[in-house]
Amino acid sequence: MAETNKFPEVQGGGSLLIAWQIKGKRVLVVGGGEVAAGRILNLLNADALVTVICPSAGLNPEVAHRVANNQVTHIDRKFQPSDLSPLPPAEPIAMVLVAVDDPAASTTIWQLCKTLSIPANIADVPPECDFYFGSVHRDGPLQIMVSTNGKGPRLASTIRKFIAEALPPDAGRAIEKVGRLRTKLRQVAPAVEDGPKRMGWMTRVSDAYSWEDMCALDEEDMDNLLKWYASGKVPELEVLKGMGSGSGVDVDGLIEGFDGSFGFSVGA
């Protein structure tokens, strides 16, 4: 029998943390208060199509702002069961978020969602949630979520702030540059079988340059860096910058003769 102590130990009781791609999908938010406002912002940041169901008198200033600027669709009344089953050609409901001060109504909506197999979150009622919202740090493409599985939202916020303060400056901008470089690389090496080599080379690039170095790369630098892909090598930043237009550098000769003896600028 194979040894089991070398494998990760199972820790039950957790949640499956995933990045849910809700872009372009319809989400119902029942309620228009402070909690609903936070939920709505999260959904809009994820490019969801948001419908808010709440009498106008119950909208707080932030939700009213979203309605006035056509960032969400507003239904000016209380929730009705038919809201969960829109008639064609309307898109089906992908998710329901409930944030109202009416436990009985919330439970009724939860039960209807279960019947229709629609994922739902009932604010402040963990047993009536298919998923939880965590405390999120956002910096461009970088998203870090801290979840306590609904047990300690305030503690999640404290931990999230601690993590955010420890991150290097411009982390989000550096990730944007990495993403741009990956897109360019897929154009250079688009074949499926190139996948392992692409991943290995991008790992070396990420290890070779610091956050600041990545932020400093411009389009010409990225194009020059991609010239090293075929060789599998990654130049020191000074070498890369020396390849700029008008430098007179023999790029092919430089890449051919590069053996790594320049060293690498390893980022934190």
Q: How many CB atoms lie within 10 A of CB 74?
A: 19
Cα distance between residue 89 and residue 239, in whole Å: 57
Cα distance between residue 219 and residue 225, in whole Å: 10
The separation between CA 38 and the C-alpha centre of its own chain, rounded to angstroms, equals 17
Q: How many CB atoms lie within 10 A of CB 184?
A: 15
β partners of residue 28: 51, 96
CA distances from 237 to 1, 172, 181, 244, 262 (A): 50, 20, 15, 12, 10
Catalytic residues: 124
